[in-house]
Structure 1
Amino acid sequence: MLRIAIQAKGRLNEETMALLTDAGIRVVAGKRKLMTQAIGFPMEVLYLRDDDIPQAVYMGVADVGIVGLNEVAEKELPVVEEMRLGFGICRISLAVPREVDYSGAVWFEGRRVATSYPHILQNFFKANGVNAEIHEIAGSVEIAPLVGMADGIFDIVSSGGTLVQNGLREVEQVFRSEAVLIATAGLDDDKRRELEKLKFRFRSIIDSKGLKYVLMNLPKNRLDEAIALLPGMRSPTILPLAEEDWCSLHVVINEHELWEKIERLKVVGAEGILVLPLENMIR
């Protein structure tokens, strides 16, 4: 049985729980309960702070974990990155007061920067030959310049709204992050098999995102034109209709090109077009 560590609360918790639900895994979390048994998969769920998850996985307290890549990079522990999960996307950036005449990373030379990610920032400054003072604080990093604690900050940015509210502007995007599935190095064979089953479920959900299942009726004499427009995962599915000169064509289309494809299909005679959500795609 696997033990998975997930964030107890915060920005990744809801999306992690949604992923588990989509994968057919139900987790009922009780108040003040640190660990619970999953339903639908042989797994225990351990609730931790996000910055404790990499260490828990490294120590084998949890076999696997879902956490931001930024926390993995910050802790610099030898855990195995199994797969990226496509949510919790953000960046960690340097920001300065908006009135500053910023001239590049060299601007930070000799200045103080407040952050919760000192190791990632130190690596960036070292790579750029900058000698700055890194002041580590937990939480409310964005107010540090306002109260005179620092000249700039290094923090997570999603929309950038919090920076604007505090009179800051983003000047260097240093690290891009998203939720990742990590594992303890050297899992035994039984746990590795269970992990592969879990990854299979996750992958089918991730692969289906942004895809639509499209069905349409089409004159048989226009079939070649439609197929040229709509390559499927291998090729479109074609089924006969009761009306001899017509067929039904089924295909998976990327959401971003859906309407352009539908418009072109109508030109070649497609009718009765149905667009359906695609929950999972098993490759």
Structure 2
Amino acid sequence: MLRIAIQAKGRLNEQSIDLLSEAGIRVAESKRKLISRAEGFPLEVLYLRDDDIPQAVSMGVADLGIVGLNEVAEKGFPVEQIMDLGFGGCRLSLAVPKTTAYEGLAFFRGRRVATSYPNILARYFAEKGIEAEIHTIEGSVEIAPAVGMADGIFDIVSSGGTLISNGLVEVEKVLFSEAVLIACPGLDSDKRRETEQLTFRLNSILDSRGMKYVLMNLPKERLGDAIRILPGMRSPTVLPLAQEGWCSIHAVISQDQLWERIERLKEIGAEGILILALENMIR
């Protein structure tokens, strides 16, 4: 049985449980529990603070973990990054007061920067040849310039609304992050096999996102035109209809291409077009 560590509360907790649920794995809410048993897959769920997950996985306390890439990069524990999970997107950025005359990274030389991610920032400044004072604080990093603790900050940015409300402006994007699945490097063969089974389920869900299943009827004489328009995992599926001279075409189309392709298909005579959501897609 695998043990997976997820965030005990917050947005990543909810999105992790939702993803596992889509994979047929039912997980109880933490509600002060440390460990719970999942249904639908041989899995235990360990509820931890997000910044404790990389260490727990590295030590083998948990076999797997769902955590932000920013925490993996900051903690630096040896773990295997198995796959990106497509949620929890954010970035780690440098920001300064909006009244600052910022002209580039040289601004930070000899300045104090407040952050909860000192290791990532130290590596970045070292790569850029910037010597600055990194002041580590927990909690509300964004207030540091306003109270005179720092000249700038290095923190998580999602929409940028928190920066604006605190009179700050983003000046350098350093690291783009999202939730990732990580694994203990020392997993035995049985647990690696179970991990492959789990990632198979997760990939089928992620591959289906942003995709639509499209069915339509079309005159057979325009089939070649339709095949040139339509994508497919190999090629569109074509089925005969009872009505002579007509066929049915089934294809998977990405959401961002959907309406342009539909318009072109209507121009060549497609009708009875159905557009369905995809839950899973197994390649």
- TM-score category (smaller protein): over 0.9
CA deviation string 1:106-153 (max 9, x = no partner): 100011101000000000100111111101111111111011111100
Map Cα deviations across residues 62-117 of structure 1 (whole Å, 9 max, x no partner): 00000000000001111110111111111000000001111111100011101000
Q: Conserved in 1, the CA contact under 8 Å of 2:50 and 2:67?
A: yes
Matched-pair contact (CA < 8 Å) for 2:237–2:251: yes
Cα distance in 2 for residues equivalent to 1:264 and 1:44: 49
User: Against the structure 1 CA distance between its residues 162 and 30, is the aligned structure 2 distance closer, same or farther, given a 3 Å change threshold?
Assistant: closer
Which residue does 2:206 correspond to in 1?
206
Mapping 1:210-249, distance limit 5 Å: 210-249=210-249
Q: Secondary structure at the match of 1:66?
A: strand
The AA in structure 1 aligned to 2:171 is V
Q: How does 1:104-253 map onto structure 2 within 5 Å?
A: 104-253=104-253
Q: CA deviation at 1:30?
A: 4.7
Alignment partner of 1:250: what SS?
strand
2:12 aligns to what?
A: 12
Q: What CA deviation, in whole Å up to 9, does each residue of 1:184-226 have, x standing for no partner?
A: 0120011010000000000001111100000000000011001
Deviations 1:213-242 (A, max 9, x none): 000000000110011000201000011111
4+ residue runs of structure 1 moved beyond 3 angstroms?
Answer: none
Indicate the residue corresponding to 1:84 in structure 2.
Answer: 84
Distance in 1, matches of 2:130 and 2:227, equals: 56
Cα distance per residue 1:249-280 (max 9 Å; x no partner) = 00000100100100000000000100000110
- Distance in 2 (CA, whole Å) between partners of 1:255 and 1:30 is 35
Percent sequence identity over aligned pairs: 71
Displacement of 1:11 = 2.6
Alignment gaps of 5+ in structure 1: none
Q: Secondary structure at the match of 1:72?
A: helix
Q: Is the 8 A contact 2:8 2:30 kept in 1?
A: no
Residue identity opposite 2:62 in structure 1: A
CA–CA distance in structure 1, aligned partners of residues 38 and 72 of structure 2: 25
Conserved 8 A contact 2:239-2:249: yes
- Which residue does the alignment assign to 2:96? 96
Shift of 1:15: 1.1
Q: String of CA shifts for 1:156-209, please: whole Å, max 9, x gaps.
A: 001101100000000000001011000001200110100000000000011111
Whichever residue aligns with residue 190 of structure 1, its letter is D
When normalised by structure 1's length, the TM-score is 0.99
SS in 2 for 1:12: helix
Task: Provide the residue aligned with 2:74 in structure 1.
Answer: 74
